[in-house]
Structure 1
Amino acid sequence: MKLRTGLAALLAAATLVAAPASAQDYPERPVEFIVPWSPGGGSDTLMRLISGNIADHLGTEMPIINMPGVGGTVGLREASRRAADGYTVSQVHEGLLVATEAGITDLSWDDFEPIALMTASPQYLVVHPTEDYADFAEFLAYAKANPGAITMGVTLGGLPHLHAAMIEQAYGLQFQYVGYEGTGERIRALVGGNLDAAMGDIASSKQFVDNGDLQFLAVGTPERVQEVPDVPTFVELGSDLNLLVTRGIVMPKGAPQQARDKMEAALEALSQDENYIEQTNNAGSSVMFRGQEDYRIYLTKLDGTVKSLAEVLAP
């Protein structure tokens, strides 16, 4: 009896010691990073920079799994179904909020645990060079004279669709929309001459602009971007458009607080890593860190903004 009692006490003590030790040791294996977009686009490029630099701060690798489809919602659906144990993360941006409001998915941002906002990327109106227009003023004149003639590459029901519709609304234009899953896919279609214009970013488009295959007509920032100082802002061109993509890291709902805190701390340390900052800037984006609570507040406010603009996407 004494032996059994002693063993039971020993096992109980071992359990008490083991539980916090296991949590304290998180992460004990690699954390899978589901990127819900195809390779080559802005999200994929920027998330690979996080994946490639996080190990020194997190203590383990964070390998990327690309799961594109339906405006980024296929990968996010998979991420939402993963075990809430801290060993799966994914990436969201404004596109999820737009897809939710447009009825593309029943997922919403608060089906996840926001961990950290990491980057902000200005969006550009990108065109395939043509004799019909050489700058935005000529593009505007051509588009007004030929309503519906310009084919515009977007993610239908996603953020690029919203941004393009905002341009339509601001200047009284009408585009013919063509849907693509990710930025990389539509920019390749634009390079191939299958589109007239698209919403893009530096990460996906600048190499093609530099070699003359594409042209930036305007950027959706309040001031000109240092990497492309010759590209005018929409503000300069007569509207108050602010077109940005902010990207953040989330975990499945119910992930342990300790895992969330450790991931947040690792991402905050990464956001101060000079090598990572330089790589992110070179990719045409800026590091913009917000921790769990600030990111949740940001998403709440952003959700209100998207709801107020949802009618722009109405057919």
Structure 2
Amino acid sequence: MRKLGLALLAVCVLAGAAFGAYPEKNIQGYIMWGAGGAMDNVSRAIVPIAQEHLGKTIILQNRTGATGAIATTFVANQPADGYSILFGAENPNLYKVTGLSQIDYDQFEPVFLMMANVGVVIVSKDSPYTSYRELIEAAASGKTITMGSTGPGGLPYVATTMIEKIHDVKFNKMQFDGEGPCITALMGGHIDAVAVGLLAAANFIHSGNVKGLAMISSERIESVASVPAVTEVYEEYRPYLPWGAFFGAFVRKETPAEVLDVLRSAFTKAFQDPRFDEFAKTMGGVKLGITGDDAKKYIRQNQSVAAWLLYDAGGAKFSPEEFGIERPQGK
């Protein structure tokens, strides 16, 4: 009996040691967007710090294509062992309603949501509109206002659709291949306004080349504190917020809880590191720092707003209702 007890104890110790070794090897990280973009920059800023706490290297590679669906599908088909991490943005939230893919964040566990890219409505420095209210009232009066867009699903498109729905106005949308070209067109006088991510606009706001009229947020953002939150002007936006792009790390849903704990601990410590804090301030993004159920709630809110706005605007192939995506409360 004593020998049996010792044997069982040895098995438990060995099992604990085996599990406690995670990670036993380097980890693969797959970034859904290309080199030099916001998702890439955020991932490459936090990973070197996180791996200091993991004791192993996270080998990053950009696996681009199909609005992030290539990387998302690839990681979804890897073993659920914590050795394949998806570094993704908000795009999978619209895969089902656009028909792009049946795989979205329902198949993943959020390790950590690092940052958000909050939308900001900007105009050129010479624009006659000096406030967000002036811009909206001009549109409501019937004046033709040309807004930049990047097509259905992109932040400028969804944000503009939100504005149209809340204020019952219509803009003339001019499509460009990315937020950068939108801002270039704005400064060149080809469009009147555009809603873009703050990460794309912050430097232009700071230099005075464009004016920020409103953050699509319920709070002012520290890096551009002079730009009012949209709810300071119109409370009607509050049910749709928080909303915007986000950047996070994800693993397959079946990943053991113990492995998730190790990863979440490492990314939490990296997030709190002064080096990442400095990066976030330089980038102009909003630090999130959420995980677990809070992260899931944040993702569901983002999906609810974007999917229903896209569907109501005729930009989705399928109703969000088909996938159990609830409308934003009261909307």
The TM-score bracket by the shorter chain reads 0.7 to 0.9
Q: Report if aligned partners of 2:28, 2:58 keep a CA contact under 8 Å in 1.
A: yes
Residue 264 of structure 1 corresponds to 264
CA–CA separation in structure 2 for the residues paired with 1:206 and 1:300: 27
Amino acid at match of 1:186: E
Residue 157 of structure 2 corresponds to 161
Amino acid at match of 2:71: G
Taking structure 1 as reference, are residues 113 and 235 closer, same or farther at Cα in structure 2, changes over 3 Å only?
closer
Q: Report if aligned partners of 1:151, 1:195 keep a CA contact under 8 Å in 2.
A: no
Amino acid at match of 2:290: R
Decide which of 159, 183, 190 is 1:190's aligned counterpart: 183
1:158-181 per-position Cα deviation (integer Å, ceiling 9, x unaligned): 45432221012223132415264x
Taking structure 1 as reference, are residues 75 and 195 closer, same or farther at Cα in structure 2, changes over 3 Å only?
farther
Residue 83 of structure 1 corresponds to 79
1:196-240 per-position Cα deviation (integer Å, ceiling 9, x unaligned): 344333322212333344332210122322222221222233353
Percent identity of paired positions between Structure 1 and Structure 2 = 23
SS at match of 1:223: coil
Residue 3 of structure 1 corresponds to none
Decide which of 24, 27, 50 is 1:28's aligned counterpart: 24
Q: Report if aligned partners of 2:32, 2:63 keep a CA contact under 8 Å in 1.
A: yes
In the superposition, the TM-score normalised over structure 2's length comes to 0.74
Q: Report if aligned partners of 2:161, 2:309 keep a CA contact under 8 Å in 1.
A: no
Taking structure 1 as reference, are residues 154 and 68 closer, same or farther at Cα in structure 2, changes over 3 Å only?
farther
Please tell me whether residue 284 in structure 1 is matched to residue 284 in structure 2. yes
Taking structure 1 as reference, are residues 61 and 130 closer, same or farther at Cα in structure 2, changes over 3 Å only?
farther
CA–CA separation in structure 1 for the residues paired with 2:204 and 2:219: 23
CA–CA separation in structure 1 for the residues paired with 2:293 and 2:130: 45
1:96-125 per-position Cα deviation (integer Å, ceiling 9, x unaligned): 213333333222211122222333342212
Stretches of structure 1 lacking an aligned partner (at least 5 in a row): 1-13
The correspondence of residues 36-115 of structure 1 with structure 2, limited to 5 A, is 36-115=32-111
Residue 245 of structure 2 corresponds to 245
Stretches of structure 2 lacking an aligned partner (at least 5 in a row): 1-9, 316-331
The worse-fitting range, judged by mean Cα deviation, of 270-279 and 185-194 is 185-194
In the superposition, the TM-score normalised over structure 1's length comes to 0.77
Amino acid at match of 2:44: R
SS at match of 1:240: helix
The worse-fitting range, judged by mean Cα deviation, of 135-144 and 242-251 is 135-144
User: Size of the alignment, in residue pairs?
Assistant: 298
Amino acid at match of 1:109: Y
Q: Report if aligned partners of 2:114, 2:287 keep a CA contact under 8 Å in 1.
A: yes
SS at match of 1:248: strand
SS at match of 2:179: helix
CA–CA separation in structure 2 for the residues paired with 1:246 and 1:161: 16
Q: Report if aligned partners of 1:191, 1:208 keep a CA contact under 8 Å in 2.
A: no
Q: Report if aligned partners of 2:119, 2:197 keep a CA contact under 8 Å in 1.
A: yes
Superposition deviation, residue 267 in structure 1: 1.4
Residue 10 of structure 1 corresponds to none
Q: Report if aligned partners of 1:154, 1:198 keep a CA contact under 8 Å in 2.
A: no
The worse-fitting range, judged by mean Cα deviation, of 89-98 and 161-170 is 89-98
What's the C-alpha RMSD, in Å, of the aligned pairs?
A: 3.4
The correspondence of residues 209-224 of structure 1 with structure 2, limited to 5 A, is 209-224=205-220
CA–CA separation in structure 2 for the residues paired with 1:21 and 1:127: 59
Amino acid at match of 2:227: V
1:269-295 per-position Cα deviation (integer Å, ceiling 9, x unaligned): 223323323322332233333333443
Taking structure 1 as reference, are residues 213 and 38 closer, same or farther at Cα in structure 2, changes over 3 Å only?
farther
SS at match of 1:200: strand
Q: Report if aligned partners of 2:117, 2:199 keep a CA contact under 8 Å in 1.
A: no
Amino acid at match of 1:136: Y
CA–CA separation in structure 1 for the residues paired with 2:312 and 2:306: 10
